[in-house]
Structures are given as C-alpha cells and as structure tokens.
Amino acid sequence: MRRADGYYAQFCINVERAEELVPTGKTIGIDVGLNHFYTDSNGETMTNPRHLRKTEKALKRLQKRVSRKKKGSSNRQKAINKLGRKHLKVSRQRKDFAIKTALYVVKSSDFVAYEELQVRNMVKNHKLAKSISDAAWSQFAEWLQYFGKVYGKTVVAVAPQYTSQDCSSCGNRVQKTLSIRTHICLCGTVLDRDHNAALNILAKGLKEAGINLNTVGHTGINAWGQTDLYSLVVTSTSKPTD
Ligand SMILES: [Zn+2]
C-alpha cells in the first residue's frame, strides 16, 4: 500500500484478550451524524475534536489550491503532494479518535446499538470531507464490535430505516426533512432529532438481540455478551487522494 508520505502501515493485533469489567447496568443507542460525531440515547453528544476540525479546514484550503494551479505544472504537483500529506494526517487523526471513542462507549455501557451505515450512499458521495466522516464512522463501528468482544459487551448494528422519522415514545411516523432538527410528535414528545433517532436505534437493537429489559433486567444483558477469543487484522483503509 503506497501512501502519500511513503508510510506503510499494517497492524496485526492478535486478540487473545478478554478483559473483565464490572457491569455498568447501562444500555446505549448511538446515532452518528455530521453536526456531532454522535448523539446517544441519553441525549449526550460527542463532538469532533477541535484539532480535527482544524486539519479538515486546512484540507479544504489545499483542495482549492490544487484546482487553481495549471494542469501539468510542477506547482500543481507540489500542491497535490501537500494535499495528500494533509489527507493522511486527517485520516490518522480520525482513526485515532474513532478508536478512543469506541473504547469509551463500550466501557461505559453493557449493551451498545448503532446504526448500520448505508454503503450505497458512501460510494455515491464524492465530497472529500464527507467521505472522511463516512470512513471514520465505519472505523468507529468496527472498533465498537472489536472492543465489544474484548470486554464481553453486546454490540448490535441495526437497520437505519425510519430511525429518524419514527417517534421513540409512541411509534408514530413523523416525516421530516434533513433540515428539521427537532422531532415533534402529536403524543407530546419533543426531542432533538438525533436524540430521538438514538432512542429508536437502542430500542431496535434490544429487540434484535431479543432482550426485554422489563423481564430480564439490566444485569441480564451480559449473558448475551461474547467473550470468545479471535484474531483481527486491522489494515488502515483510508486511501490517499487520487
Ligand atoms: Zn409520539
């Protein structure tokens, strides 16, 4: 794998690793988005760190610079190399952030549900910043699964259909465009759009895993957790700019 700065990375993590954690008695649903890295079912948000936003801005500036240079000129080549290096920096910072965030989520709950990403949309999208976020989310999901196995927590991916439209209290479908940021239902529920989605994701995840909190109680969750040992080869999936 050739990288813009000649860096080649392939990590081989041999996971013969199962950590013991005291059950937290908590469940969490996660909705990833562009405004925040994620919003959870408790209404908490995880913001993208400032250093990341800064490098992303610099990335956009460099992209513009490349497009202004004459095709085939050495100045354009220089700008392209610089852009490639910046892109690598952003993806490394993103990956680092995804790993730390996934570990934090898994450690603070016994059950984690997140939305399965739609690969179709990711392929269709050609905007660099957006594609980097998408890559970060899929990395985040992979690390959630990984740490879930290590710490014996249940991590479930749910289908994204209607999670932002349905009311998390009464189940009514409340159609809303992307610009509508608040979920308002006739049943009286008023919630931040992403918070409502995260609650739906959690409910869907629990249903999918066959967990009924009313009957098994929170302590029952760990029974579904997997502690099997396995090997995982993690390869850096981000590619330098073409
Ligand atoms: Zn409702």
Q: Each residue of 96-151: pLDDT tens digit?
A: 999 999 999 999 999 999 998 765 555 455 566 666 677 788 899 999 999 999 99
What is the pLDDT, as a whole number, of residue 99? 94
What spacing in Å lies between the alpha carbon of 132 and ligand 1's midpoint?
A: 34
What is the pLDDT, as a whole number, of residue 64? 92
What spacing in Å lies between the alpha carbon of 167 and ligand 1's midpoint?
A: 5
Question: Which carries the bigger pLDDT value, residue 3 or residue 81?
Answer: 81
| Spatial separation of the C-alpha atoms in residues 214 and 38, rounded to whole Å | 27
| Spatial separation of the C-alpha atoms in residues 146 and 139, rounded to whole Å | 10
pLDDT reading at 49 higher than 90: no
What is the pLDDT, as a whole number, of residue 126? 55
Q: In the numeric block, which tokens belong to residue 235?
A: 């390869």
What is the pLDDT, as a whole number, of residue 219? 41
Percent of the chain with pLDDT over 90: 51
Task: Write out the residues surrounding ion ligand 1, Cβ under 5 A.
Answer: 167, 169-170, 172, 185, 187, 189
Contacts of 85-89 with CB under 8 Å at 24 or more apart are: 85/4, 85/5, 86/55, 86/58, 86/59, 86/62, 87/4, 87/59, 87/128, 87/238, 87/240, 87/241, 88/3, 88/4, 88/5, 88/7, 88/238, 88/240, 89/55
- Residue 194 annotated among the catalytic residues of the structure: yes
